[in-house]
Amino acid sequence: MQPFTHLDAKAAPLDMANVDTDQIIPKQFLKTVEREGLSRGLFYDLRFNADGRPKPDFVLNDPRFAGAGVLVAGDNFGCGSSREHAPWALLDFGVRCVISTGFADIFYNNCFQNGLLPIVLPAEAVRALMAEAKGGNHVFSIDLDSQTVSAPSGTLFRFDIDPGRKEKMLKGLDMIPYEYRIITRDGAVNFPDDLTAREVEVLRLLAIGRTNKDVSRVLAISLNTVATHVRNILNKTQCANRTEAATYAIRHGLHASQSTTVAS
């Protein structure tokens, strides 16, 4: 994962609330597990007409925002399904930071797994940044170490971030191999709905949008074993699909960015 330390980049204003992952990357672009090339599908239905011609009124088709590395978005950005292709597409397009008043939990977690910095600021601050992004000078400065966003006017906005996530973003560390594994020891906790330790490992990865192939690689188990665990998880939790299972994980605190000690 590429480290994130400091970013000076154009900011594009996407003044829309509740932009979901279907809009960020439509389903027809989800057939690949490769990250490169997904930029062509980013905001496809918003960027292009039915005949494939660019829509001139969409912000990312505006020449003033060509090469934008920062997106200033409306509230609840990244809602909807838990597809990890959404941050992949943004990164492939060149976006390294999204600023909003709020993000969907799964999308927010996925951003940190992939080196895309999601910044949450109060509504007043986002409105001010949105207005400046629409102005004549569109270059913002994002500094992760000082946790600041500097607008073209010189106004400085400070944002909060979990210290552990900040450190890993600064160093470009992949959080999954150690943060989403469960350490098995004697005398530990019981999980809800009779989930086993291995099933919780799988569930944690599902909660951040990982595919079966990703789960197989991270946990060093076969794809058939992953599929069996997913079926067991859905049956035990009475979830209809992976998205509901991801929500279940968040609701029960099983997505937490820390190791969990469980019984052997």
Residues 155-172 have pLDDT tens digits of: 999 999 999 899 989 988
- Would you say how long the chain is, in residues? 264
For all residues of the chain together, what is the average pLDDT?
85
- The residue among 93, 92, 110, 96 whose CA lies nearest residue 21 is 110
| Residue 259: per-residue pLDDT | 40
1-41 pLDDT tens trace:
789 999 999 999 999 999 999 999 998 887 766 667 889 99
- Residue 47 above 50 pLDDT? yes
Farthest-apart Cα atoms in the chain, separation: 62
The answer to whether the pTM exceeds 0.85 is no
Q: Are 64 and 137 in contact (CB under 8 A)?
A: no
| Residue 183: per-residue pLDDT | 43
- The residue among 47, 102, 40, 99 whose CA lies nearest residue 70 is 99
- Residue 181 above 70 pLDDT? no
Q: How far, in Å, CA of 260 to CA of 62, rounded? A: 47
118-137 pLDDT tens trace:
999 999 999 999 999 998 77
For the segment 135-140, the average pLDDT, to the nearest whole number, is 86
Residue 199 or 146, more confident: 146
Helices 242-251 and 197-207, axial angle in degrees (round to 10)? 110
| Residue 255: per-residue pLDDT | 58
Domains of the chain: 6-171 (3.20.19.10), 176-262 (1.10.10.10)
| Residue 261: per-residue pLDDT | 38
